[in-house]
Amino acid sequence: MFNKATSNSKDINHPSFHQVLEIAEELVDNNQVIQIDLLYKLAKRRLKIESKGLYSIINKLIQRKIIVEGTKLLRHEVLNNSYREEIFQYVKNYPGVHFSIIKEKVMADGSTGQFVWHIEVLLKFEFIKKLEIKNYSLFLPYEMDEELGTYYFLLRDRLNRRIVKHIKNGEAYKQSDIYNSLDDSKGTVIYHIQTLEEYGIVDVFDPEETRGKEVIVNSEKRELLLKIISNIEAQ
C-alpha cells in the first residue's frame, strides 16, 4: 500500500504533511513503534484528508526517511544521540572506513551490540550506507557514489597507496620492479596488485615482447585516485 508515490503528491511543506507528522510524533513521544498502518488509521480518523492524498503524504514521509517503520524515532531526532552524531561525522570525514575502526575511534568503551544498533539506525534513516568488500563492512555517507567510497576504502591501506604512488606517472611498470622496490614480500605485493586490478584501480597485462607482467594505473581514474590519496594522507 505504501510503496509507490502517487502523481498528485503534495509538497512536503504542505500543512497536511505537518499534521500527519504530528501524529507520528505523538506515537514516538508515547514510546510506541512507528507502524504505518496505525499511523494511517489515526490520521484518517483525525484529519480531513481523502484516502488517496493520505497515502501520498505517508509515502513521501517514508521515501524521504522522515519516518521509518519499526523505529521509535523520527529523522530529526536521529542525531540527537551523541554516539550516532559522532559515528555519522566520523563516516563523513573518513569515507570508506570499516566497522572495527569506527568502533575503536567512537565507541571503544561501548558494547558491540550498542554500536551495531546505532549503525543500524543511521542505515535505516539513510544517513550512511554500507558496502561489503572482501571480509570488510565499510561505511560512507549515503549520498556518496559507491565506486568512490570503494576507492577511499582501498586507498586507506598504506601498501595500496604506495603501489599507486609508485606508478602514478601513468607508465607501465614491471610487477617484479614494484615488489622489489617496496619493503613487503612478493606475495603480499602481488595480492594487493590483484585487488587493485579487481576494483579497476590498476590494469595488469603481460606483453608478448617482455617477460613478466606489467602494471599501469587506470588512466581514466588517475587524477581522482591521486586526489583521494592526497585527502587521506592529509587527515
Q: What are phi and psi of 129, to 5 degrees?
A: -135, 165
Q: What does the pLDDT profile of the chain (235 residues) look like in tens digits?
A: 554 434 344 567 788 999 999 999 999 999 999 999 999 999 999 998 999 999 999 999 999 999 999 999 999 999 999 999 999 999 999 999 999 999 999 999 999 999 999 999 999 999 999 999 989 999 999 999 999 999 999 999 999 999 999 999 999 999 999 999 998 899 999 999 999 999 999 999 987 766 789 999 999 999 999 999 999 999 9
| Structural domain total, the chain | 3
Last residue of a domain, one of 43, 75, 107: 75
If asked whether residues 52 and 102 sit together in one domain, one would say no
Its domain, for residue 118, covers 81-144
Of the candidates 57, 75, 93, which is a domain's last residue? 75
Instruction: Look up the CATH number of the domain holding residue 130.
Output: 1.10.10.10
Residue 7 lies in a domain: no
- Look-up: residue for cell 585527502? 231
Query: 47 vs 15, 37, 41, CA distance in Å?
Result: 11, 15, 10
The answer to whether residue 3 sits within a structural domain is no
Residue 196, in any domain of the structure = yes
Q: Would residue 115 count as lying in a domain?
A: yes
Residue 212 maps to a domain: yes
The confidence score (pLDDT) of residue 6 equals 40
**Complete edge-to-edge strand list for the sheet that includes strand 128-133:** 97-98, 136-141, 128-133
Supply angle C-alpha 139, 145, 148, rounded to 5.
80
Q: At what angle do helices 112-124 and 99-106 cross, to 10 degrees?
A: 110
35 and 51 in a common domain: yes
In a domain, 2, yes or no: no
